[in-house]
Structure 1
Amino acid sequence: MGLFSKKTKELEIIAPVDGEIIALDQVEDEVFSQKMLGDGIAIKPTAGNFVAPIAGKLVTVFPTGHAYGIKSIHGIEMLLHIGMDTVSLNGKGFNIKVKQDDNIKQGDLLCEVDLAVLKAEKVPSLDTPIVFTPETMSGKTITIVKTGKVKQGEVIAIIK
């Protein structure tokens, strides 16, 4: 390894959308609030364009557009889940911009969501959890570095 090359062991997580950061235990769904799928952070979106919080490979793109699984080069897997019970909309209000198995960069557009459609369909909540699978987090910790209002692209958490 050269003198100036540095392999980072940190993984920065960016806000996928404008909104307000909330603790995962405040999400209005016990699967997420009780961390059954893993630990993480959540955001109440105020805009409709969602970008990749991390770089990696899209291991899951739900056909309904409501959820995206990304595996980072660090081996960490995360799930971005847009809203609660949004799977029941069968894609209504979601415009997917990626395909499963795509390699994506942090900040790449995943989907456009019409939040007005989601609200009109009376989904229980627009809370958007970003969770990290426990199997891929062994020995690593999540540090939340941003709270309150956030702009898309701002660093909101770091995994070490």
Structure 2
Amino acid sequence: MGLFTKNKSLDVFAPVDGEIIDLSKVEDEVFSEKMLGDGLAFIPENGEFVAPIDGKLVTVFPSGHAYGIVNSNGVEILLHIGLDTVSLNGEGFDIKVKQGQSIKKGDLLVNVDVKSVAAKVPSMHTPLIFTVDSMSGKSFDILKTGKVKKGDLVAQVK
């Protein structure tokens, strides 16, 4: 491990086609008040969600609604698809990965039937959170706002 390995920046890419919104606009206090960490959120245009970073899947909820990914530099990202989607018990979510699996940016995580899911939950807002514990001594910049396509560079952790 080199002297500067821990200081290497981490590029974060859009996990879905859609629009970036400020985390404060997410209609769930856990996310809008940054209880799990800071980040950004997406309003998805479709249901194809891909990995926003390279890393290891430390969490894949059986319901398919949330994914925890840790990068080799220790940064952990939580991608939470929609609000109150855990209540659907996986209905509308076709999971393509397994917990413990190594993934690369752009790898397909899940296909979501957005139309069906959106009709049953309060919102499809999709927070991407940099978890509090993993961000100690680090900061991030949002590099893009508004409309994005999956794979667009949207943030950088330093």
Which TM-score bucket, shorter chain as reference? Answer: over 0.9
Give the aligned partner of residue 58 of structure 2.
59
Encode CA deviations 1:7-46: one digit per residue, 9 max, x unaligned.
6711011000000000111101010000000001100000
Give the aligned partner of residue 107 of structure 2.
108
My pick for the range that moved more, 129-138 or 88-97, is: 129-138
Give the aligned partner of residue 19 of structure 2.
20
Give the aligned partner of residue 70 of structure 1.
69
Taking structure 2 as the reference length, the TM-score comes to 0.95
* Structure 2: runs of 5 or more not aligned: none
- Following TM superposition, the consecutive aligned residue runs of length 4 or more in structure 1 with deviations greater than 4 angstroms are none
* Structure 1: runs of 5 or more not aligned: none
My pick for the range that moved more, 12-21 or 112-121, is: 112-121
Q: SS at the partner of 1:53?
A: coil
For 1:3-152, what aligned pairs fall within 5 Å after superposition?
9-121=8-120, 123-152=121-150
Q: SS at the partner of 1:152?
A: coil
The size of the alignment, in residue pairs, is 155
Q: Percent identity?
A: 63
Taking structure 1 as the reference length, the TM-score comes to 0.94
State the shift of 1:119 in Å: 2.1
State the shift of 1:120 in Å: 2.5
Cα RMSD between the aligned structures? 1.4
State the shift of 1:139 in Å: 1.2
Structure 2: which amino acid aligns with 1:72? Answer: N
Q: SS at the partner of 1:70?
A: strand
- What is the rounded CA distance, in whole Å, between the counterparts of 2:118 and 2:46 in structure 1? 13
